[in-house]
Amino acid sequence: MRTLGRISYWLLAILLVSAILVSLDFTLAKAVFFSLLFCPSALALEYLMPKTYKPIDKVYLSLAILVAVILMILVLHHLIWGMLITGYFDINRAEVPPMLINPIFLGLILTALSLGDYCFGKWLSSHFRPVSRTVTFFSERKSVTLDEDDIAYIESNDTEVRIITKTGESYRNKTGISQWENLLGDGFLRIHRSYLVNSDLAVLIAPDAVVVGSDRLPVSRKYKEIVVSILSDKNDE
């Protein structure tokens, strides 16, 4: 249901952006063509923005994506629209409409698409909770399978990690914490170079500390901004 909802959102977003472009005197074919170009850029903005922790990095990321969109529009407009559709390259016929390289217009479109998908995704998550996935790993030469929801946090101790469950069980494993972060996905939040927590079980008690179960864990300066942002929102819910 969540996947179907996200697909429906992007189809609707393409239609709305196409309608905006048509109202600016674009042909329907050209409007749909350029609307499709905005989707991967908006998704990149939505995915990468939470992974930047300093305000200046967010500014650089936004500018980089904006420049990438403009370059993509220029290149694809000339190569595809200017050549394949017209049959030959004519710089006059392949001229890019000024609105498509207007940074303010592009920034508004990309921000609206990414924020809309983010908010709709949160709504879907709250109303259609996914079935818990399982993860299998080796601990002390024995195969262990756990539901992801049962994992409270991961603690890294240089050469190995400890997997702590919400019932207090502890397992040892040689897989690095960064690999665990990629494996467990969005439901888990990195709060420190040594800690990865289940965001549904973590409670923010101070800007530099969270509690998971009965354990108090530190939040490092590098991750403080994103941790406070995400867990504050969850606590408000």
Same domain, 8 and 122: yes
Confidence (pLDDT) at 177: 93
- Whole-angstrom Cα distance, residue 92 to residue 206? 60
pLDDT digits over 58-74, tens only? 889 899 999 998 888 88
- Number of domains forming the structure of the chain: 2
Any idea what the CATH number is for the domain that residue 197 is in? 2.40.50.1020
Same domain, 94 and 138: no
Same domain, 91 and 13: yes
* pTM exceeds cut of 0.85: no
Same domain, 142 and 26: no
Which of 127, 150, 170 corresponds to the end of one domain?
127
pLDDT digits over 74-89, tens only? 877 766 655 555 554 4
Same domain, 14 and 76: yes
Same domain, 203 and 142: yes
Same domain, 6 and 121: yes
**Phi and psi angles of residue 13, each rounded to the nearest 5 degrees, phi first:** -60, -40
Reported as a pLDDT band with limits 50, 70 and 90, residue 12 is very high
Same domain, 122 and 141: no
% the chain with pLDDT above 90? 35
The amino acid present at 62, given as its one-letter code, is S
Which of 103, 127, 151 corresponds to the end of one domain?
127
Same domain, 60 and 162: no
Beta bridge partners of residue 212, listed in sequence order: 202, 215
- Whole-angstrom Cα distance, residue 89 to residue 82? 6
Of the candidate ranges 93-97, 98-102, 171-175, the one whose mean pLDDT is the lowest? 93-97
Same domain, 163 and 87: no
Q: Average model confidence (pLDDT) for the chain? A: 84
For 77-169, strand residue ranges (E) read 134-139, 142-147, 151-157, 160-165
Same domain, 115 and 11: yes
Residue the block writes with tokens 């189809």: 11
Indicate the Cα dihedral angle 157, 136, 143, 181, nearest 10°.
Answer: -10
Same domain, 225 and 142: yes
Which of 101, 127, 153 corresponds to the end of one domain?
127
CB 124 within 8 A of CB 163: no
Range of the domain at 120: 2-127
